[in-house]
Amino acid sequence: MSTETDVPLRRRSNSLNGHHSNGVAFDGTVPSMESIVKETDDGYARGRSKASFMTWTARDAIYVARVHWIPCLFAVGVLFFMGVEYTLQMIPARSEPFDIGFVATRSLNRVLANSPDLNTVLAALNTVFVAMQTTYIVWTWLMEGRPRATISACFMFTCRGILGYSTQLPLPQEFLGSGVDFPVGNVSFFLFYSGHVAGSMIASLDMRRMQRLRLAMLFDTLNVLQSIRLLGTRGHYTIDLAVGVGAGILFDSLAGKYEEMMSKRHNLGNGFSLISKDSPVN
């Protein structure tokens, strides 16, 4: 029999005084959500006669709202946006898409439209930032022997290509292009999702793993600035940028899982490597 003790989401009564202990140990430790789920499942399997929600009390509700306020906040968000979604007037087929990022950057769009030279300078600086991302990601593999960021970028850009080709969004009417913007030369590109943002996220996450915190903060700041510029030039929709952030996090995580899986499969005690263990390279 397992001696592990898990704590449910609701408040639990203390057997000494009959009062709720809030499901918190006497040392102030708050239970994890995983332990809560396990306790609920195991308890139900042991044959509880009542459904879990029938045992809840007002104190339990207060405890959940106080300790687990983040999921509660998102639960309120679900209800709010259900109301927004079901009462929103749909955009007519012949109209331009509504984008809140475009609304917020109208003044920037006008400035850049009236100042082509400024638009060119900002585009060139953004291209330099993309080169910085690429250099760092490739450097971590070729020079430091850590392929996770490179694998993540390969995953991310391949998926971006599939999704970008599958749903080809229209170029915004107010788009301000530049021959020095990446990809250089006014060539076509996929709008969904932003490879600029996702690549920067991958690099930043790797920097944080290696405790290069100042460099990571610099990349995050430049990422925010490039996002504002991309909205101002109508180079991406807001959803492209938001998904780019999520894609960077997702594919970094998947690359980490791939490393872990391959290390276990090939018994790589010294860590994951893309080269063979029998390679003569030191």
Catalytic residues, by residue number, are: 196, 236, 240
Alpha-carbon distance of 53 to 72, in angstroms, equals 16
Q: How far apart are CA 241 and CA 191, in angstroms?
A: 10
- Please provide residue 23's backbone torsions phi and psi, each rounded to the nearest 5 degrees: 65, 25
Which residue matches tokens 């980490």?
Answer: 256
Q: CA angle 216-249-238, nearest 5°?
A: 90
- C-beta neighbour count of 252 within 10 angstroms: 24
In 3D, which of 20, 25, 19 has the Cα closest to residue 7? 25
Contact 11, 24 (CB under 8 A): no
Going by C-beta distance under 8 Å and a sequence separation of 6 or more, which residues neighbour residue 219? 132, 133, 200, 203, 204, 207
Which H or E element spans position 141?
helix 116-142
Specify the 3-state DSSP secondary structure of 121.
helix
Nearest to 233 by CA among 157, 94, 125, 91: 125
**CB-CB contact of 267 with 277 (8 Å):** no
